[in-house]
Structure 1
Amino acid sequence: MTLKKSHDIAVSVEAQFIDEQSRPLEDHYVFAYTITIHNRGTLAARLISRHWIITDGNGGIREVRGDGVVGEQPSMGPGEGYEYTSGAILETSVGTMHGSYQMLAEDGTRFDADIPSFVLSIPRTLH
């Protein structure tokens, strides 16, 4: 028998290149990513803030911190999820993003939910 954890947030990501907003000759590459967050724990939790680490194809690293996501601080009960789409602009045609969400559970516990690393890439760049 497996015991469910009280704080268990799963995060999945789908990314895509936005060709019509990009200007490769000016080193301006626009990407969209859709995040799905699922509360697999036994307690409700609210997403308080985010921390992103964005690495471009030249190894340049940029960190982004902020409250909530897309102007919201969503709460998710056990078994509930939340999905949003946002974007990133890179100076290279490929890069990666990863980070964490800072969460507040209904019992007052603060914890981090990891955002797995994902690739931002123009089509036909990576095999």
Structure 2
Amino acid sequence: MFQQITKGIKISVKTVYNGIIYRGYVQHYAFSYFVTIKNNSKDTVQLLERFWVINDSLNETEYVEGEGVVGQTPVIKPNEEYNYRSNCFLISSVGSMSGSYKMINLKNNKEFLVEIPTFQLTTTPTLN
């Protein structure tokens, strides 16, 4: 599991390799990633946007950004957490993802970025 804490917001990510799929005639390696966002701060926050950097060892780096996650912009109260699952498809069997969430503190209406730790996407475990 990969973890990072930014301004009291703890991001934890777990990955799972799901096997090979075909999109058209192109083979892809399918991965799921499970994200837990835990609010360890004293204030209620809301996730507004996401920004992902997806590195595929056989493809160009892909950038994904947009509103919320999986169609939601969750409000997370102190000591609560929000969990979601999403997917990534790579051309190679090895890659990584990293990024950030734009959040807002609902007490003072200040926006801030929360770092998402870099995590590996691999069909077999690798050693650092």
User: The residue matched to 2:65 in structure 1 has which SS?
Assistant: strand
Whose helix proportion is higher, 1 or 2? 1
Q: What's the % identity of the aligned pairs?
A: 35
Corresponding letter in the other structure for 1:22: I
Q: Which protein is bigger by CA-based radius of gyration?
A: 1
> What aligned pairs does 1:85-104 form with structure 2 within 5 A after superposition?
85-104=85-104
Unaligned stretches of 5+ residues in structure 1: 1-6
Which residue does 1:114 correspond to in 2?
A: 115
Q: Distance in 2 between matches of 1:59 and 1:105?
A: 37
Q: State whether residues 35 and 85 of structure 2, in contact with CA within 8 Å, keep that contact through their aligned partners in structure 1.
A: yes
Which residue does 1:38 correspond to in 2?
A: 38
> What aligned pairs does 1:18-37 form with structure 2 within 5 A after superposition?
18-19=18-19, 21-23=20-22, 26-37=26-37
Q: State whether residues 12 and 36 of structure 2, in contact with CA within 8 Å, keep that contact through their aligned partners in structure 1.
A: yes
RMSD: 1.6
User: The residue matched to 2:79 in structure 1 has which SS?
Assistant: coil
- For residues 10-66 of structure 1, the C-alpha deviation after alignment (integer angstroms, 9 at most, x for no partner) is 1010001111x535x943111000000001111100000100000011362100001
Q: Distance in 2 between matches of 1:91 and 1:39?
A: 35
Q: Distance in 2 between matches of 1:88 and 1:55?
A: 11
Which residue does 1:11 correspond to in 2?
A: 11
Which residue does 1:74 correspond to in 2?
A: 74
Q: Distance in 1 between matches of 2:41 and 2:66?
A: 24
Which residue does 2:56 correspond to in 1?
A: 56
TM-score, normalisation: structure 1 = 0.86
Query: Where do 4+ consecutive residues of structure 1 move more than 3 Å?
Result: none
TM-score, normalisation: structure 2 = 0.86
